[in-house]
Homo-oligomer: A and B are copies of this chain.
Amino acid sequence: MNSKFSKRSDTIQASEIRELLKLIGASDIISFGGGLPAEEIFPVEEMKVICGEILSEYGGKSMQYAPSEGYDKLRKIIVEIMREKGINADLDNILIVSGSQQGLDLTAKAFIDEGDTIICESPTYLSAINAFKPFYPKFEEICIDNEGLIPEALEERLKNNKNVKFLYTIPDFQNPTGVTLSLERRKKIIELANKYNILIVEDNPYSELNFTGQYLPSLKSLDTEERVIYLSTFSKTVCPGFRIGWICASKEIIKKYVLFRQGSDLHTNIFSQMQIAKLFEKYDVKANIKKNIEICKSRRDTMLDTIKAEFPKEVKYTEPKGGFFLWVTLPAYMDSKELLKCTLKSGVAFISGEAFFPNGGHKNTLRLNYSSINEEKIRKGIKILSNVIKENML
């Protein structure tokens, strides 16, 4: 039959990351493409105990329909996590979602009308673009530097555009650049949000994976007017396969999100909510996060050391202090998609940068992930990438 797809179907594009994930499953490729956590830290042995206990304690309840807001024991644990970050939250401020990706989808449904402007970092998280695009917003990208997004550039946009719905930002170890927003700028951005009456969507999956031990306050903790919608996840601190994340926001906003989530997937897998809750009750999750930090930090060091030794000096790169990614800017005449074709032949993958810019361009950029690859492979892969770059220098 003739296609009857919606107009928005034409605007959506395949996530290269997800396509790459399929490649990874299929071969021995060294992939800097995904955003996979180090599998070594997943609490596999703990889960053997936990699953049995859940089934004995809760029986069929662990497999039955459950409330859309989430499992209360897990919501309480999240309230505690929020308190430790200086965020005051009650149970009613927390909605458990099927990965923080769903938090982005619900945000789009609850807030975006066609033609609304969303301001975001340039570049920004690819799958946030894909979550927002089906609702036909306009994206305005704000330049970033080594201290994150530039408040003056933000104010310039806010002055000239009365139709801004929200700022979408990843303040800590941003995906894809690895850059962290400075404290001074955090304060300034909250001021601007108050002054120009906009919401802030703070996407914060990486904050725990901090290599320096110097934690900056989240935007949410600086928010005095309930303007910040905070998204986070257990994907980076426990495991991503269970798809458990959360939203922390005003009660009014959470209520609205709950209505949309009933139409989206009713509720999040209750068995896995119990798995995570029990993990926090019985085990030392923080010790595990420490182990995770050590692994990621060591891999970041290896990647940076190899880059410093191998990349031509014309190539610029970020030096993340946490998280999973660093960002490479090639000479302006290079196209990272063309490079990718070459490196794939030698068994190395990465994500070319253009997809991280909602309005396109910036073909000379690329994102590298270091969290899920062992150090030998990082060295080998970066050398291969470096050689391909050198071959393509003018």
Contacts and interface: CB of A to CB of B under 8 A. Distances in A.
Contacts of A44: 55, 59-60, 62-63
Interface stretch (A84-92, A101-109, A176-184): A101-109
Among A35, A102, A259, A265, which residue has the most Cβ atoms of chain B within 10 A? A265
A316 interface: no
Chain A interface extent, by class:
35 or more
A76 to B, nearest CB: 15
Contacts of A135: 6
Interface in A60-112: 60-68, 98-99, 101-102, 104-105, 109-112
A195 B7 CA distance: 24
A157 interface: no
Given A263-B131, A265-B265, A252 B48 contact: no
A9 B40 CA distance: 42
A4 B166 contact: yes
Contacts of A60: 39-40, 42, 44, 239
B260 A243 contact: no
Contact of A105 (B35, B197, B243, B263): B263
B105 A242 contact: no
A263 B133 contact: yes
Contact of A39 (B64, B239, B243, B262): B64
B266 A101 contact: yes
A47 interface: yes
A222 B199 CA distance: 50
A165 interface: yes
B63 A259 contact: no
Interface of A: 1-9, 12-15, 18, 21-22, 25, 34-37, 39-40, 42, 44-45, 47-48, 51-52, 55-56, 59-68, 98-99, 101-102, 104-105, 109-113, 116, 127, 130-131, 133-135, 165-166, 197-199, 225-227, 235, 239-243, 252, 256, 259-260, 262-272, 275
